[in-house]
Amino acid sequence: MLDTVKKELKNKIGDDKLVDNLFFSFQKISEEFVAQKPVDLLQNTGLFVESALRVAEHFVLGTHTPLGKKFDIDGCIQKLEKANSFEGLRIHAARLSRSIYDFRSRKKGVHLKAIDPQLIDAYLIFNISNWILIEILKESGVSDAENSIRLLFTRKVPLVQEVGGILRTTNPKLLGPQRMLLLLYSAPVGLSEDELFEGTKRKIRNKNHLSKNLKYMDSNDLIHQLSDGKWTLFGRGLSEAERVIAKFT
């Protein structure tokens, strides 16, 4: 699905390298966010912003600043704001891009000390980047944009594979809770109970069994239920999932 979306964008924009940069930088931001590596995440922000703004230029203005040519971020945004079409790209996406562009050089001293300041920055950048890419896919007219975004959030794990829109583990020796950890590790935006059951029902007998596992893992600070009902890794859940990966690969 993602290959199809990228191909569509490349056909619309006519610059394969630009589209590759956009998807590569977004994927790296997503992966480093899940891995809690804010410094590495921040290092990919510049490439994502410049790629996103060039794409916005193309759709709004009909042309974009060539790769390799010095890119004037503020000049680009000013031109976009003066145009008339694609309001989501030329106003909201452009301004949000500018808001995260300078985070690469921010100093820890300007933040609150109670929490790692770069984790706060990373959380903001991750969510804004998500919104910007969704807006690009929506306004560009590519097919199945929302499902494509969902797949973009799937972290590449050797023991997990996406089949027909369902995440499944590939090693039959994995126990039910281990499968759940790996599926959640692969999905930074979280998974619903139905999605977890679809991915583990070869090992977990029924939804009641699944609920018991979720309750146990929640009480042991491995997972957390989000406001939308989805489950995500929490606390030491990330390190536990990585131990499973190390053991079975």
Residue 108 predicted with pLDDT over 50: no
Q: What are phi and psi of 226, to 5 degrees?
A: -80, 170
Q: Which CATH number fits domain 2-152: 2.60.40, 1.10.12, 1.20.120, 4.10.240?
A: 1.20.120
Taking the domains of the chain in order of start, what are their residue ranges?
A: 2-152, 160-248
Q: Find the DSSP H helices in 35-144.
A: 38-43, 45-61, 73-82, 87, 94-101, 117-140
Q: What's the chain's average pLDDT?
A: 86
SS3 159: coil
Q: Measured between alpha carbons, how far is 214 from 208 in angstroms, rounded to an integer? A: 10
Q: Residue 62: left (phi > 0), alpha (psi -120 to 50), or beta?
A: left
Give the tokens for residue 91.
């106003």
204 band by pLDDT with thresholds 50, 70 and 90: very high
Q: Are 197 and 207 in contact (CB under 8 A)?
A: yes
pLDDT by residue (tens digit) across 121-133?
Answer: 888 898 899 889 9
Average pLDDT over residues 64-91: 92
Residue 89 predicted with pLDDT over 60: yes
Q: Measured between alpha carbons, how far is 178 from 185 in angstroms, rounded to an integer? A: 10
**CB-based burial of residue 18 (10 Å sphere; 0-12 exposed, 13-18 middle, 19+ buried)?**
buried
Report yes or no on whether pTM surpasses 0.85: no
From 230, 146, 228, select the one nearest 187 (Cα to Cα).
230
Architecture label for domain 160-248:
Orthogonal Bundle (1.10)
pLDDT at 129: 92
Same fold, 2-152 and 160-248: no
Residue 115 predicted with pLDDT over 50: no
35 band by pLDDT with thresholds 50, 70 and 90: low
